[in-house]
Chains A and B, each alone.
Chain A
Amino acid sequence: MFEQLTGKFEDLFFRIRNKGKLSPSDLDAALREIKLALLEADVNFKVVKEFLGNLKERALGKEVMESLTPYQQVIKIVNDEMTRMLGSSEGSVNFSSGGPTIFMMVGLQGTGKTSSVIKLANFIKSRFGKSVALVAADVYRPAAVLQLMDMAGKIGVDVYSEKSMDPVSISRKGVEKFTRDGRDAIIIDTAGRLHIDENMMLEVENIRKAVKPHQVYLVLDAMTGQEAVNIASAFNKRVECDGLILTKLDSDTRGGAALSVYYVVKKPIKFVSSGEKIEDFDIFHPERIASRILGQGDTLTLIEKAQKVIDEKRAMELEEKIYRDEINLDDFIEQLRGLRKMGSMEKIFSMLPIPNKGRILKNINFDESYLDRMEAIINSMTPAERKKPHIINGSRKKRIAKGSGNPVSEINKLLQQFSKTRQMLRQFSSMKGKASLPFGKFW
Chain B
Amino acid sequence: MQMLFKNLNLLWNKFKKSNSQFWEELEEQLISSDVSVDTADMIISNIREYAYSNNINDTGIIRDLLKKEIIKILNCGINEKLKFSGNPPSVYLIVGVNGVGKTSAIAKLAAMLKKQGKNVVMAAADTYRSAATEQLQHYGERLGIEVVHHQKLSDPGAVVYDSLDKALARRSDVLIIDTAGRMQTSFNLMEELKKIKRVVFKKLDRDPDEILIVIDSTTGQNARHQAEVFHRAIGLTGVILTKTDGTSKGGIVLTIKNELQIPVKLVTNGEKIENIDLFDPEKYTGAIFT
* Residues of A bordering B, CB below 8 Å: 36, 39-42, 44-45, 108-112, 140-144, 146-147, 150-151, 194-196, 221, 223-228, 230-231, 248, 250-254, 256-257, 276, 346, 365-368
A125 → chain B closest CB, angstroms: 19
When the two chains form the complex, which single residue of A36, A142, A248 contacts B99, counting CB atoms closer than 8 Å?
A248
Taking a contact as CB atoms under 8 Å apart, the answer to whether B245 and A196 are in contact is: yes
Contact status B185-A250, CB under 8 Å: yes
Kindly list chain B residues whose C-beta atoms are within 8 Å of the C-beta of A111: 99
User: Measured between alpha carbons, how far is A367 from B191 in the docked complex, in Å?
Assistant: 11
Q: Is the interface of A mostly helix, strand, loop or mixed?
A: loop
Q: What residues of chain A lie closer than 8 Å to B132, measured between beta carbons?
A: 143
Closest 4 pairs between A and B when the two form their complex, measured CB to CB: A225-B220, A110-B99, A42-B220, A142-B138
Which B66-98 residues sit within 8 Å CB-CB of chain A?
97-98
B129: Cβ under 8 A from any A Cβ: yes
Residue of B nearest to A42 (CB): B220
Q: Which residue on chain A has the smallest CB distance to residue B185?
A: A252
**B32 contacts across to A, CB distance below 8 A:** 44-45, 226
Query: Which residues of chain B come closer than 8 Å to A367, judged between CB atoms?
Result: 187
Chain A residues in 8 Å Cβ range of B130: 146-147, 150-151
Judge whether A196 and B247 touch: CB under 8 Å: yes
B281 adjacent to chain A (CB < 8 Å): no
Known A-B contacts A36-B37, A109-B243, A365-B187; A147 and B129 likewise in contact (beta carbons under 8 Å)? yes
Q: What CA separation (Å) do A228 and B249 show in the bound complex?
A: 12
Q: Please state if B99 and A226 are interface contacts (CB–CB under 8 Å).
A: no
| Chain A, residue nearest B38 (CB) | A40
Shortest distance from the beta carbon of A352 to any chain B beta carbon, whole Å: 16
| 24 A-B residue pairings within 8 Å (CB atoms) | A39-B31, A42-B220, A42-B222, A108-B243, A110-B99, A112-B98, A142-B134, A142-B135, A142-B138, A143-B131, A146-B130, A146-B134, A147-B129, A195-B246, A196-B246, A221-B218, A221-B219, A225-B219, A225-B223, A248-B99, A252-B185, A253-B222, A254-B221, A256-B220
A227 to B222, CA, bound (A): 13
Inter-chain contacts of B248 with A (CB < 8 A) = 225, 227
Contacts of B243 in A (CB 8 A): 108-110, 194
Contacting residues, chain B, for A228 (C-beta < 8 A): 220
Residue pair B135, A224 in contact (C-beta under 8 Å): no
A40→B31 CA distance, assembly (Å): 8
Residue with the highest number of chain B CB atoms closer than 10 Å, among A111, A225, A346? A225
Chain B proximity of A48: nearest CB distance (Å): 9
C-alpha gap A14/B134 in the complex (Å): 53
Is B9 close to A, CB under 8 A? no
- CB distance B36 to A227 under 8 Å? no
Q: Identify A252's interface contact among B139, B219, B225, B246, CB under 8 A.
A: B225
What residue in chain B is nearest A200 (Cβ atoms)?
Answer: B271
CA distance A196 to B269 in the complex (A): 13
- Chain B residue numbers with a CB within 8 Å of A140 are 271
Given contact pairs A223-B219, A223-B220, a sample of 8 additional A-B residue pairs in the complex whose CB atoms are under 8 Å apart: A108-B243, A110-B243, A143-B131, A224-B218, A251-B185, A251-B222, A252-B183, A252-B225
